[in-house]
Structure 1
């Protein structure tokens, strides 16, 4: 049985990730600043901005999955978001590397591309957006994710620790599907996230596979469902909301995602299986 520490296990995505690892015979510890609503495993109350506490909670772990963060832009002063997200991730990777932990997975975001929280009306340069698309955030949340990915590169170069940075689409837990009828016919809603979504259960599988897959080095992967969260075809969504975008890197003939997930599928042998249409009455 392998030992994995999951930070932020008390948050939105955490319970699904904890369950995924438990169901695959891992011993799991949740490191968070609060206890979860449902106790699935041992929780250690940990301030991840304190390097000493991070060393303590990671001692004896074989892998670490880092979910904890201030999860959106502008919920806190910019410097608070930046300092929390950057230093907690630095501490996790620094401690893990020095403790000899070989595998880490961190939560990055589609927000790093800059479109999500843009106040200047930033548009994608091309779609579907893949991992090579420029990252141009205007705020500290997206910037923190870029810094974290660079920290991952640094620790891999220094320690050889595999670090997979998950550029997550909009995370949706099963109970949130009840909200979909409120927006699936309105293209203006959710346009800044390119109508992306990822079911917590599919994301959890990707996190586990990122721990179990060898030879990845330091790599960033888009994690999104195969379709958009809309009941409008993807080409029409783009024509309606981003008419100036003319660079289509693949034919859009249906509801396919505009956050390209092919790299994650290939490297992790992963496939998202939960589609909102299976849970929402149209």
Structure 2
């Protein structure tokens, strides 16, 4: 069967339908009386996201911006750089601040309050990462002490000014809009699992560096939520900045460990580039208040995952035409987006049975009626929204897509599921796989809402495939890696601290190879309902697979011989039935990154 067109649902459900810079633009006229504090930043030329945040805010003429940082020379260089890019000078002031020191924090708060009685927006974006097991001068584990406790104390000291600003705005007859934005990270997913562990200095000091970092990022989320509960007049949200890209691994190394990090305060926002890096902070800072949930944690929103862009690019290069069904447009000249709410069955049905024969020329070029549907949209994990909303959104949209496709006579549907259905990710405590390699025949009984929703989708697909006699292929996707992520901090930990990454079976999928998997699925007919592990060939470790598994999981049986570096979450089925062959092995890119770091 030759596919003329694919209807792809490639977006991810979000709280907002606005691009962050749209929010900044509409919010701009109200900034004139505002005083901002971007507190705890440091600056490096190659990773200057705080500077970009200040630059974008300064373009809208706030009355004053305070920039607090540990290294004065870098902060003042950043201010000079920002001023050079503004049409007119902005009032940007430096305050000395070391978040690892209560003494410094108190001095910084006193300095600010001696100069200003107004604070409209407080951005807490400093941080440290990957440190040895040490303490701050006040006795806290250094990552939790800097990334959370320091921010907590600073916010507490500035709270009277924030509250006074609320009253000033209210007295003027306007609606108060005072905000605190806390920079968290997706690393909260690897934090300790109990509150006692998260808050115990001895426990943290005995944990791995990544668990300690994850604890600090989880604490950022808890702090933002509790601040909102106690002081609802102040909008408090936490944000994950997006894809991480850091040079921290080039810090001094020792022979006794993989790496040794300096304790220099560095920004906790790491992005692919400076222009995209500040977007989620700007989103939280400028989106109209009634469009935000007080106390919420936001992953990149008003934003389409680059993963969908890569998949679509691969499909276009393979000769397919694509109609994108999403609430956000796709910035690709060859893809038309039909704005569609996937949770609305009527909209989905109508979108897939649209007016394909219109003679009026459309500048974007309308594709023909679709022959297949690829559904990738949904909340990407637990804890982005309440569990019931995760379940509703991720199952309702999938049901609507599958039902509409079947009843409209579309003969192929490809659905994104997840390796979380194996029950090790998001488990209640530590869970083990029943055997290795992990294949699609394993009985699955996950306990978390996200994975249960994915499993429900698989059952829905199986029933509709049998009822209508069509092909529905399920891709159990794990950690999706984009090309630039091979050199980031998380992927480094995949390789050098593999015990932490049992949750995805030491597997990954290069986003370009995911696109090629979708293409292979489109071109292979007649398999009915099938489930495939969507992974690349090799495990993310330099040890041989059987050696690694026997060393770390001696009680888990290995039921067949494994190739030298074969991924434990097996992709043998997708290679056998769909003819998939990987093109982007991780060692091809990671080795180059390692050599570059050593140069």
**TM-score higher than 0.5 here?**
yes
Q: Matched residues in 2 for 1:178 and 1:57: separation?
A: 40
Identify the residue that residue 53 of structure 1 maps to in structure 2. 347
Which of 2, 5, 8 is the matching residue for 2:7?
5
Q: Are 2:506 and 1:195 aligned? A: yes
Q: Matched residues in 1 for 2:428 and 2:535: separation?
A: 24
Superposed CA RMSD: 1.7
Deviation at 1:211, TM superposition (A): 1.4
Q: Are 2:327 and 1:33 aligned? A: yes
Paired residues in the alignment total 281
Runs (5+) with no aligned partner, structure 1: none
- Is the CA contact (8 Å cut-off) linking 2:424 and 2:502 kept in structure 1? no
Report the TM-score, using the length of structure 2 for normalisation.
Answer: 0.45
Identify the residue that residue 379 of structure 2 maps to in structure 1. 70
The more displaced of 227-236 and 15-24 is: 227-236
Report the TM-score, using the length of structure 1 for normalisation.
Answer: 0.94
Larger-Rg structure: 2
Q: Matched residues in 2 for 1:148 and 1:12: separation?
A: 24
Give the number of the structure with larger relative contact order, counting CA–CA contacts within 8 Å between residues 6 or more apart. Answer: 1
Identify the residue that residue 157 of structure 1 maps to in structure 2. 466
Closer/same/farther in 2, CA of residues 236 and 192 from structure 1, 3 Å limit: farther
Identify the residue that residue 239 of structure 2 maps to in structure 1. none
Closer/same/farther in 2, CA of residues 236 and 151 from structure 1, 3 Å limit: same
Q: How does 1:165-180 map to 2 (within 5 A)?
A: 165-179=474-488, 180=491
The more displaced of 217-226 and 177-186 is: 177-186
Q: Are 2:555 and 1:244 aligned? A: yes
- Is the CA contact (8 Å cut-off) linking 1:187 and 1:232 kept in structure 2? no
Q: Matched residues in 1 for 2:554 and 2:332: separation?
A: 45
SS in 2 for 1:30: strand
Closer/same/farther in 2, CA of residues 29 and 253 from structure 1, 3 Å limit: closer
Identify the residue that residue 112 of structure 1 maps to in structure 2. 421
SS in 1 for 2:498: coil
Identify the residue that residue 231 of structure 1 maps to in structure 2. 542
SS in 1 for 2:500: coil
- Is the CA contact (8 Å cut-off) linking 2:420 and 2:451 kept in structure 1? yes
Runs (5+) with no aligned partner, structure 2: 12-303, 354-368, 595-599
- Is the CA contact (8 Å cut-off) linking 1:115 and 1:124 kept in structure 2? yes
- Is the CA contact (8 Å cut-off) linking 2:330 and 2:336 kept in structure 1? no
Q: Matched residues in 2 for 1:40 and 1:143: separation?
A: 36
